């Protein structure tokens, strides 16, 4: 019966390092090539733009007052503000995080 080929620990470690480096390079290449397409700008109504600007103003005032770890809540409900404005406001506020 033939003897099995013995390989040193250094050879196995070097092989694993080469495989890991190749995997990382392939992952980086795939991530760079699959960048999402930019979303087209949606038209925003004047009422919605005014509402978002009002909230920005309130946030700026709260920041100037020195609100450190406090939570700022908005309880005003505006009639006539549709779902498109809710989406715009959510996108606007999430963009500021």
* Dist. CA 27–CA 20, nearest whole Å: 10
Tokens of 65: 């007052």
Using alpha carbons only, give the angle 96, 28, 18 rounded to the nearest 5 degrees. 145
Q: What does the chain come to in residues?
A: 97
pTM above 0.75, yes or no: no
Residue-level pLDDT at 75: 60
Six-digit token pair at 26? Answer: 């392939």
pLDDT tens over the chain, length 97 residues = 666 677 788 899 999 999 999 999 999 988 887 766 666 666 777 888 888 888 888 888 877 877 666 666 666 555 666 666 777 878 877 875 4
3-state helix, strand, coil in the chain (%, to 5): 60, 0, 40
């Amino acid at each position: 019966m033939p003897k099995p080929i013995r390989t040193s620990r250094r050879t196995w470690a070097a092989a694993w390092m080469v495989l890991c480096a190749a995997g990382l390079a392939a992952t980086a290449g795939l991530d760079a090539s699959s960048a999402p397409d930019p979303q087209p700008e949606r038209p925003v109504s004047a009422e919605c733009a005014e509402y978002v600007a009002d909230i920005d103003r309130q946030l700026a005032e709260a920041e100037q007052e020195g609100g450190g770890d406090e939570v700022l809540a908005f309880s005003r409900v505006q009639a006539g503000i549709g779902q498109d404005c809710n989406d715009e406001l959510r996108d606007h506020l999430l963009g500021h995080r």
